[in-house]
Structure 1
Amino acid sequence: MSMAGRMPEPYGQGSGANLADILERVLDKGIVIAGDIRINLLDIELLTIKLRLIVASVDKAKEMGIDWWEDDPALSSRARRNELSRENAELRERLARLESLEAAVADREREEEDRA
């Protein structure tokens, strides 16, 4: 008996196409995997971990209303720019308030010096 007869057959076109079909179907339809892990000691809940996993294409996720990655500055340069613009506007507003407060204090000090 030869070793070639015992070797498994290489993966053919059919199995690759099946995997591609399955992956396409999962991404098109989406799949949800959910589970909870709870750790109790003497009927006292110490830890609860809720796991939720959604596997879907970007288009399917958007269709379901899931688009958190678009607003996450760590994942989206547009979101990062928006966050920096918002922060910049807040800092400019705070600076303007501080400058107006400083001017009011300076005016009050001048008035007190004029009275003395």
Structure 2
Amino acid sequence: MTEPARTTRHYPADRYGGIGPAAPRPEGLADILERVLDKGIIIAGDIRVNLLDIELLTVKIRLLVVSVDKAMEMGIDWWTRDPMLSTDAQELADENKRLRERVNELEGEGDD
């Protein structure tokens, strides 16, 4: 009797050093960044400095990394109201300043 012929597959080593059929892995930094921005990532931590059971300093760190679309979907849109980042917000800040000055003028005229 003859034994059936066995075939052995020889897989070359992949770029990660593994041997075998290629498993789905991220292609690179761009793919990882795309996934992080799409899903989001939160990093949170607190740093406390105590001396003899007296709290001297507390630093709370909260970091959220998401795409703009994902942030707006989550209800986060602070940059739309920041005068340094939005021309609309700057215009509103300027209008607000002018209105406050006018109100102060009008209140000053009534005192005479």
**Fold shared, TM-score > 0.5 on shorter chain:** yes
Using structure 2 for the length normalisation, give the TM-score.
0.73
Specify the alignment match of 2:44 in structure 1: 34
Give, in whole Å, the separation in 2 of the partners of 1:16 and 1:51.
Answer: 29
Structure 1, unpaired ranges of 5+: 1-8, 10-14, 103-116
Identity %: 57
2:110 is equivalent to residue 85 of structure 1: no
3-state secondary structure, aligned to 1:51:
strand
**How many angstroms apart in 2 are the aligned matches of 1:98 and 1:51?**
45
Deviation for aligned residue 1:92: 0.6
Two-structure CA RMSD over aligned residues (Å): 1.9
Number of equivalences: 89
- Partner residue in 1 for 2:53: 43
Give the letter aligned to residue 39 of structure 1: V
Gaps of 5+ in 2: 1-14, 16-24
Q: CA deviation at 1:98?
A: 1.2
The aligned residue for residue 75 of structure 1 is: 85
Measured in 2, the distance between the counterparts of 1:96 and 1:43 equals: 55
Q: 1:100: Cα distance to partner? A: 2.9
